[in-house]
A and B are shown apart, each in its own frame.
Chain A
């Protein structure tokens, strides 16, 4: 937590978008998981 805050002092004018970052990360994971899921089905057939 403290480390993160330290990082942020470097870019003072950037808004805090941690929630956004995690949200898009989840979205990315959904894409990756579903792609590999269907890929596994493709390979198994």
Chain B
């Protein structure tokens, strides 16, 4: 089989470029630990309260240390349960200081949902039976929309909250 000289150069450069992309990604994923979320931790979707993090008093934003937070969320059709405030109203807005490290832990007792803080790298599928979790550093200030980005039913587009980084 004959390959034109230029085609050889083209294919070799193409493969080198692809390899370069993969090396950059592989370095980030395996050395710096920036894999997409993949913990494989299971939970009984019919009994999510069995896990301490998803009992109603532990939902929402919790400060665990200086600049360290945990956000526990139960995603249901069509709502994110982020706990309740002092007055007993559902929390729909959480505020986190810039530069803090935040661990998001999300489960669903019903169907598949998305968990995306638009404009950040927090983007996870939430599936019945698994705990979705991701630790990120909030690098930019601003008001971000937390929204469901996987179709979950007729009210899918009404499933949102806001995250403020100040």
Contact = CB atoms under 8 A, between A and B. Distances in A.
Interface of A: 11, 14-15, 17-18, 20-21, 24-25, 28, 31-32, 35, 39, 42, 44-45
Contacts, number: 30
A14 B4 contact: yes
Contact of A42 (B4, B10, B14, B121): B121
Interface string B1-35: 00011110110011001000100100000000000
Nearest to B120: A45
Nearest to A44: B139
B140 interface: yes
A31 to B, nearest CB: 7
A28 B20 CA distance: 13
Which bracket fits the contact residues of B?
Answer: 10 to 19
Given A39-B24, A45-B121, A28 B6 contact: no
Contacts of A39: 24
Nearest to B139: A45
Contacts of B6: 17-18, 20-21
Contacts of B9: 21
B119 interface: yes
A20 B24 CA distance: 29
A25 to B, nearest CB: 8
**Interface of A (DSSP majority class):** helix
A11 B5 contact: yes
A20 B9 CA distance: 12
Nearest to B24: A39
Contacts of B4: 14-15, 17
Contacts of B120: 45
A39 to B, nearest CB: 7
B150 to A, nearest CB: 20
Question: Top 7 A-B pairs ranked by shortest CB distance?
Answer: A21-B6, A45-B121, A17-B6, A24-B10, A45-B120, A32-B17, A14-B4
A29 B13 CA distance: 11
